[in-house]
Amino acid sequence: MSCLAVALMVASMVALYTALPSIAVDIGASHVSESYAAALELAGRSGPVAEPFRQFAEAAFVHGISQAAFVLGCVVLVGAVPIAIWSPGRNRR
């Protein structure tokens, strides 16, 4: 059974590799590495064979966005400390 699975996987990869050059020329190969939307477009045109490529592009996008959100959160916290210290207090009457 495992030999059949390996043969199917190799056949699907061969189909993907033969389809990618013509599709990548239409989209522009440099855009695929720079744009999540271009990577999804390439995966969509390639069909179900490119599902691992789509999953990799999605994982890379989510990882980058999560790192950017973490850095933004750190910047906001670091900026909030001086504002809290320098802000005027309430008037005591």
- Model confidence at 22: pLDDT above 60: no
Q: Does a structural domain hold residue 77?
A: yes
Q: Does a structural domain hold residue 28?
A: yes
Cα dihedral across residues 43, 48, 53, 55: positive or negative? positive
- Picking from 15, 23, 64, 65, the residue whose alpha carbon sits closest to that of residue 40 is 23
Q: Does a structural domain hold residue 18?
A: yes
What pLDDT is stored for residue 27 in this prediction?
52
What pLDDT is stored for residue 7 in this prediction?
57
Q: Does a structural domain hold residue 91?
A: no
What pLDDT is stored for residue 42 in this prediction?
79
79 or 35, greater pLDDT: 79
Q: Does a structural domain hold residue 92?
A: no
**pTM of the predicted protein model:** 0.54
For the chain, how many structural domains are there in total? 1
- Model confidence at 74: pLDDT above 80: yes
Residue 71, domain extent? 2-86
Name every residue whose Cβ is closer than 8 Å to that of residue 36 and which is 6 or more positions away in sequence: 57, 58, 60, 61
Q: Does a structural domain hold residue 68?
A: yes
